[in-house]
Structure formats: structure tokens, C-alpha cells
Chains A and B, each alone.
Chain A
Amino acid sequence: MTMDPRAAMHHSEVAVSVELQTPDMTLNLGPQHPSTHGVLRLVAQVDGERVESVEPVVGYMHRGYEKLAEVRTYPQITALVNRIDWTSGFANEIAFVVGAERLMGIEAPPRAQWIRLILTEMARMANHLVFVSSYPLELGATTPMFYALHERERVLDLIEGVTGGRFHPNFNRIGGVKPAAGGGSSQKKLAQDLPKGFIDETRFAMEKVFEICDTMDKLIVGNEIFRGRTIGVGVIPPDQALAYGVSGPNMRATGIDFDIRKVDDYLPYSEFDFDVPVGENGDCFDRYMMRLHEIRQSARIILQALDTLPSGPLQAKVPRIIKIPRGEIYVRSENPKGEMGYHIISEGGRGPYRLKVRTASFSNLSVLQWLLAGVLIPDIIAILGSLDFVLGDVDR
């Protein structure tokens, strides 16, 4: 028996005997919503407080990087690709330059590789510091944001001191890092090694980073409200993670021990001693903890790398006009958000014939439709935020 729910409300003796039939409501979240890290639109069908289905609508930030790359030369593309995921600009460049170097059959000198590794880990740290502070913000805790972003600013200042850019370093070149001798011969351009005091400042900043991790532990991890909102919420089982191509900390939170830094050799990670944190339950809390632990591990790697920093040139011998011989290659790297890979197809020219970009956020976001079916409305934001995506990385 169906009846008008408003009528049922007025006749309380009827209401107890009748199951309330509520029509499904379409809840439109976004495209401009502070918790969507850009412009993501979610069209949710809700039945009362329960979400029946969610359809993520992406593409509002499509900038066509793959097509842009086809009409640009290789040195120009490194400037483009660090804008794909703007919270970890430096880490985006690595896989592309390593791929181009492998196609050309050259290798960056050790010092350049060490500097790349240090700055990549700093980018990872900066990215994760944003996550560990902005995720509580999405759940209603404003305080951690201000504390963690201060330490992130320290890390970004270090990146800026070396590269000149806080967000978009554009420091990698095919064959090394920014050329020791630029186009001209003046001293202003010669000086592109690490600036004086970088090592000491980095050591100090790493201490502060360890401190902020402990602060976060006290401030938010032990918080009962935070635990209540995240533990057991948005569980991704390992088989679903693999089926949807979830990678990075999101995948490791489900209990799969896989890190591209350990299995591939795009940067000399095998020289360093670090742990890959692995979760158990694959819920929002585990995903949060993965990032918090990874910040500490990145700091460990950076401290070791500073001790073993080799001296030598920063740039391998490369021709002035870079042409890559015909061929194709796929190089993947462990971006802070997951697996980021570039498939470069070269026809022998100054730019690629085709550049396919595999970004972590897109695959991580694709699990959303499966994950959000059947959750409560407040959990949408909790789950959405825990996936740590950036819309630039989704749409590219």
C-alpha cells in the first residue's frame, strides 16, 4: 500500500503501520565544491540518508596535455607535465625524463640522480602534508591544516631554493637536472647546483617534519571523532583495488605490498633503506595512516641521500637539439598519489608522436562508483577525501 508521505505524517496511527515510501532524490555535488579538489561533479541518487548510486562526472578540467605534447619539443614537455598534478610537481617530471633518456640510451650522472631523488621525496612529502591536513579539514577539523601547511611551506621553500619554483620546478632535463651551463656563459646561469646551506637546512626541515608527524599523531589520529568517522568507512578489499587499478597508498592500505620504488629502477632507490607502509583494512583510516607513515619514510630517504650525495657533473652529454630515435617506451614511477607512467612513442623527431599519460588519480577515482554505493551521505565526503586525488591529475 502506498500513500502520500505527508498524509502519513498527519495520521500518526497510520504511519506506524505503513512503511514510508520516499521517492529517490538526485543530489548533485559539485562541480565546484571545496572537498572535490578541483572541479569534480558527483550525481548521487539518494534514498533518505542512504546513497543508492553515484556517478562521478569528470572532464571539467581537461586541458589536453596528451595532445599538447604532440606539437611540442621534448624540453618543452617537462614544463607541461609538472602541471598535471600540481601538488607534487617535481614527481611528475621524473618518469617522462627517464623514459626519454632510456630511448636515447643515456643515463643521468649520479649526482643528478641523487638530486632528483631528494626533490622527488620532498614533493611526496609536500603532497602528503597537504593530504594529512586537508583530510581532517573535510571531516570538520580545521586546526591540523594550519600546523601542517607551515611545515609544508618549509619543504616548498627548499624546493624553491634549488629549482626556482615552489609548485612547478621544471628542473629536470633530459640527461640530468638543469644544465650546469645554460645557453650563455655568464655566472648567473652557470650556478645551478644545490645552493649553499641546502644540506643543513634540509636536515633541519626533516627534523621539523618528523615533529609534525608526531603532532599529527596526537592531534588527529587519536581523536575519537576522527576515528569514528574513518575506521571501517569506505573499505576497499584487495581484489577490488586490483580490479579497478587502484595504486599507490590507496592500494597499499588494502594490504597489498607493492611499491614501484622497490621494484623498478627509475631512480636509485635500491641504495636506500626504507620501509613501505602496508595497511590491513583498506578503510579511510588506513589510507590516512599510509600517507602519514610515508612522510616519515620520505624523510628517512632524504636524510640518507644527503649523507651519500656524490659529487660530479649534473648533466650527461646530450646534443643541443634533442631528437629521440624511433621507438616507444613505457616508464612508470611512484607518484605520491600512485602509479604515474608515460608511454612515449617517438618517430625520430624533436617531439613525441604520441604521449600517453597514465595518472594515478584517474584510476583511483574510478573505484568511487563501486565504493560509494550504499554509504551514508556524510560518508561521501569522508571517502572522497581519503582517496587523495587532484582533478588536474584526473582530467589532465
Chain B
Amino acid sequence: MARFKIPGVFVGMGVTLKYLFKKVPTVQYPVEKEVPVPRARGVIALDTDACTVCMLCARECPDWCIYIEGHKEEQPPSKPGGRARTRATLDRFDIDYALCMYCGICVEVCPFDALFWSPEYEYSEGDIGAMLHGKERLSEWLETVPDPPALES
């Protein structure tokens, strides 16, 4: 006598029945939120004090979405009798997030630690032009930069 074989359709329905009693893995977004990992590339934060207007980030950006302007400012000598020095000051630091492809090259090439990744992601806009964020907005995000995760030995 041939052994009775359960049709595949019913085996599959057994699986769906099992899943029916499992915990739902999705979260309801505006009410509950997932926490992004510390390294998540959400938005680029800027430390305006550290930036020296060296333009490395703007030059290395693969789609040239960083706009920087600056000027030289005469600094009074730090000690009496010293020499006055010029210091580059940042006038404009804009990142066009409509163009940015979140590769992280700017953060990586910055030699003065002025750029950081923040996992912040809620900055969508209704208008594409409003995606251009200036240095004020970028430095606000600096507070959301997390500490680096501990490493696997």
C-alpha cells in the first residue's frame, strides 16, 4: 500500500498556521521606532569650530554636493608683541541631501575631525530645494552623534 502523503499545499498552510502565533516582527513607525546602529549613516553632522575650510571634503565628494565658502580673518596676536595671524573662517557649509549618496567619503577624508555621521534620519522635506542644509542645521546634529561601538577583539 502506498504511503499517504500530505499534499504540499497543506504542509505550507501548516507553516502559515505556525507563523500566526509568532510575535509580529514589524514596528508601527510613528508610534514606535527602531533604534539605528551607532554606525548608521543617517545624516552628516558638522563641528564648525574644527573646520578649517580646507575644502578636502568638497573636493573628494563623488557627486560634489558640498558647498563651502570661507574667508581669511586677521587674528590678534595671542601674546603681547606677537605676530598677528590669519585664520580661515567658515561662511557657508551646505550639504545638498537631495544629491548626497551617503557614501561617507567626506567624513573619512576630513583631517580635522569636523564631520561625523549621526544616525538621525527624520529630516525629510516636502520640497527638494529644502534638502539643502546649512552649517547651523548641520551643527545641531552634532549632539546626536553617538559614541563608537565597542569592538570585537
Contacts and interface: CB of A to CB of B under 8 A. Distances in A.
B97 interface: no
Interface in B89-130: 101-105, 107-113, 116-117
Contacts of A220: 12
Contacts of A186: 113
Interface in A131-160: 143, 147, 150, 153, 157, 160
A326 interface: no
A110 to B, nearest CB: 15
Contact of A223 (B9, B108, B148): B9
B145 A160 contact: no
Contacts, number: 117
A184 interface: yes
B25 interface: yes
Given A188-B116, A195-B151, A183 B103 contact: no
A162 B39 contact: yes
B152 A79 contact: no
Interface in A201-255: 215, 218-227
Given A219-B15, A222-B8, A184 B112 contact: yes
A187 to B, nearest CB: 6
A48 interface: no
A182 interface: yes
B115 to A, nearest CB: 9
A163 B150 CA distance: 14
Contacts of A193: 151-152
A218 B101 contact: no
B80 interface: no
A56 interface: no
Interface stretch (A34-42, A164-172, A336-344): A164-172
The secondary-structure label for the interface of chain A is: helix
Given A76-B62, A79-B105, A223-B9, A194 B151 contact: yes
Interface string B54-80: 001000101000000000000000000
A197 B37 CA distance: 12
* Interface range for B: 35 or more
B8 A227 contact: yes
* Interface range for A: 35 or more
Contacts of A198: 152
A356 interface: no
Contact of B8 (A72, A187, A215, A223): A223
A220 B9 CA distance: 8
Given A162-B39, A198-B152, A183 B111 contact: yes
Given A187-B148, A189-B113, A170 B103 contact: yes
Interface in A20-42: none
A396 B125 CA distance: 29
14 contacts: A76-B62, A79-B103, A165-B41, A168-B102, A179-B108, A184-B112, A185-B113, A187-B148, A188-B116, A188-B145, A191-B148, A195-B149, A215-B15, A224-B7
Given A183-B56, A183-B113, A219-B12, 15 more contacts: A75-B60, A76-B103, A161-B37, A164-B41, A182-B110, A186-B113, A187-B147, A187-B148, A188-B145, A194-B151, A195-B150, A218-B12, A219-B15, A219-B16, A311-B153
Interface of A: 72-73, 75-76, 79-80, 83, 143, 147, 150, 153, 157, 160-165, 168, 170, 178-179, 182-191, 193-199, 215, 218-227, 311
